[in-house]
Amino acid sequence: MLSGWNKRVKIIIGPANIDEDLTDFPVLLYLSSSSGTNNKDVVCVFNEIGANRKKIAVTTSDGTTQCYVEIERWDEVAEKAWLWVKIPSISSVVDTILYLYYDSLQADNATYVGDPTSAAAQNVWDADFVAVYHFYETTGTAIHDSTSNSLHGTKTAQCTLGSTGVVGKCVDNDPSTGSIDGDGNLPATYSTWTVEAWAQLDATPGWGDLWADSTGTEMYPAQIWDAGQYGAYSSSQLRTTSTFPEDGTTWNYCVTKCDGVDTFVFWDGDQENTNGENRTIGGSWAIGDRTASGEEADGRIDEVRISKIARPNHWIKATYNTVKDNVASYADEQESGTYQRLTKIT
């Protein structure tokens, strides 16, 4: 147990939606009156600490080894929170156990728990992440990168902040001139990479870009095609077989990756196509539009991530499932006297 903490909830990550073991994987913990695969009411957390969001800790199964936590959004009024937690190891064979501690009498756990751009939050994202955008912002024009690379962006007036996202809040992109433009170039040109984005489209804008770069041979690796498919611009027109429903309500998870030999596209966690082309990304970048402008996405965009490696297929599938709240289940609240006795018995 974590010394001095009064209350905790046990969290179980079952192997059902984990195809292979994962290392340093960012799991989403969604806290609400209906959380996880068992629709558990965990508002006990808000009852104890209210708005004091950093009076929490997440540990591994030993109850003492802390994990880094990024608080993407904490809404004590609605009693909802979205936490990204870096888990050292997740098994594809047996349950992976975590504990969420919370105690109103504790000092803020700033070493391990932080808001976006804090040192603790940056530690959630491994060194292969080039940039991570949650679009948690509700005011201003700045869009912040959650990694230590600080590849921040600036939104145009036609991008609206504060819309309901697949996780917390998101950006709503206007199909005329909306975009988020990078404040600086990518750190390098990458021959292996992964681009991820969640999109909820209102319509197909003829062509549209969820993410685009200017220097690499891929240039438009996360593109919406005129047929409502997702893909990457290339000579072979790599795209998914699935299409966006364009209903303004359905979120789809879109991924393109290159392993240095082939480029692949994924739809809602599953690989759908490949073209045998080796592409690169690099240079300036934009979200929601090409860097040269003219092909804007029409709808909401959330959780955009760029990695400098080709993420394994099982990692991509697990990311889809954690965002959909399909990997974790929650047990009842335990108070310190209860779990101390349980520890002694076991």
Convert the pLDDT of each residue in 16-46 to its tens digit: 999 999 999 999 999 999 999 999 999 999 9
pLDDT digits (tens, 9 = 90+) for 100-132: 999 999 999 999 999 999 999 999 999 999 999
Structure-model confidence comparison of residues 217 and 323, the more confident one: 323
Q: What is the pLDDT, as a whole number, of residue 341? A: 45
Helices (H), 199-334: 313-323
Residue 258 and residue 314: Cα distance in Å, rounded? 15
pTM (2 d.p.): 0.94
Whether residue 220 has pLDDT greater than 90? no
Q: What is the pLDDT, as a whole number, of residue 273? A: 96
Q: What is the pLDDT, as a whole number, of residue 342? A: 47
Structure-model confidence comparison of residues 47 and 344, the more confident one: 47
Whether residue 330 has pLDDT greater than 80? yes
Whether residue 305 has pLDDT greater than 90? yes
Parallel, antiparallel, or unpaired for β 69-75 and 113-114?
A: parallel
> Pseudo-torsion of CA 190, 191, 193, 197, nearest 10°?
80
Which residues does residue 173 pair with via DSSP β-bridges, in sequence order? 159, 299
Q: Which of 233, 183, 223 is nearest to 199 (CA)?
A: 223
Could you give phi then psi for residue 46, rounded to 5 degrees? -70, -35
Helix (H) or strand (E) holding 230: strand 229-232
The amino acid at 133: Y
- Domains belonging to the chain, first-starting first, are 7-123+326-345 (no CATH), 129-308 (2.60.120.200)
Q: Which of 8-22, 175-189, 310-324 has the lowest mean pLDDT?
A: 175-189
Give the pLDDT band of residue 6 (cuts 50, 70, 90).
very high
Q: Which of 64, 95, 57 is nearest to 328 (CA)?
A: 95
Give the pLDDT band of residue 294 (cuts 50, 70, 90).
low
Give the pLDDT band of residue 344 (cuts 50, 70, 90).
very low
Give the pLDDT band of residue 136 (cuts 50, 70, 90).
very high
Q: What is the pLDDT, as a whole number, of residue 337? A: 58
Give the pLDDT band of residue 233 (cuts 50, 70, 90).
confident
Give the pLDDT band of residue 206 (cuts 50, 70, 90).
low
Give the pLDDT band of residue 293 (cuts 50, 70, 90).
low
Whether residue 73 has pLDDT greater than 90? yes
Q: Which of 134-143, 188-197, 213-222 has the lowest mean pLDDT?
A: 213-222
Average pLDDT (50-74) is 98
Structure-model confidence comparison of residues 97 and 344, the more confident one: 97
Q: What is the pLDDT, as a whole number, of residue 336? A: 82
Each as own residue / partner, the long-range contacts of residues 161-166 (CB below 8 Å, 24 or more positions apart, any chain) are: 161/135, 161/137, 162/137, 162/138, 163/300, 164/300, 165/135, 165/198, 165/300, 165/302, 165/303, 166/198, 166/200, 166/251, 166/302, 166/303, 166/323
Is 179 within 8 Å of 289 (Cβ atoms)? yes
Q: Which of 303, 29, 267 is nearest to 171 (CA)?
A: 303
Give the pLDDT band of residue 291 (cuts 50, 70, 90).
low
Whether residue 199 has pLDDT greater than 50? yes
Each as own residue / partner, the long-range contacts of residues 219-227 (CB below 8 Å, 24 or more positions apart, any chain) are: 219/281, 220/290, 221/193, 221/195, 221/256, 221/258, 221/263, 221/279, 221/281, 222/195, 222/197, 222/254, 222/256, 223/295, 224/199, 224/297
Q: What is the pLDDT, as a whole number, of residue 280? A: 93
Question: What's the mean per-residue pLDDT of the chain?
Answer: 93
Give the pLDDT band of residue 157 (cuts 50, 70, 90).
confident
Q: What is the pLDDT, as a whole number, of residue 187? A: 96
Helices (H), the chain: 44-49, 119-122, 313-323, 336-345
Average pLDDT (299-322) is 98
Other CB atoms closer than 10 Å to residue 165's CB: what's the count? Answer: 23
332 burial level (CB within 10 Å; 0-12, 13-18, 19+): exposed
Average pLDDT (67-93) is 98
Q: What is the pLDDT, as a whole number, of residue 296? A: 78
**Which residues are within 8 A (CB) of 337 and not within 5 positions of it... i.e. 6 or more apart?**
none
Residue 211 and residue 195: Cα distance in Å, rounded? 8
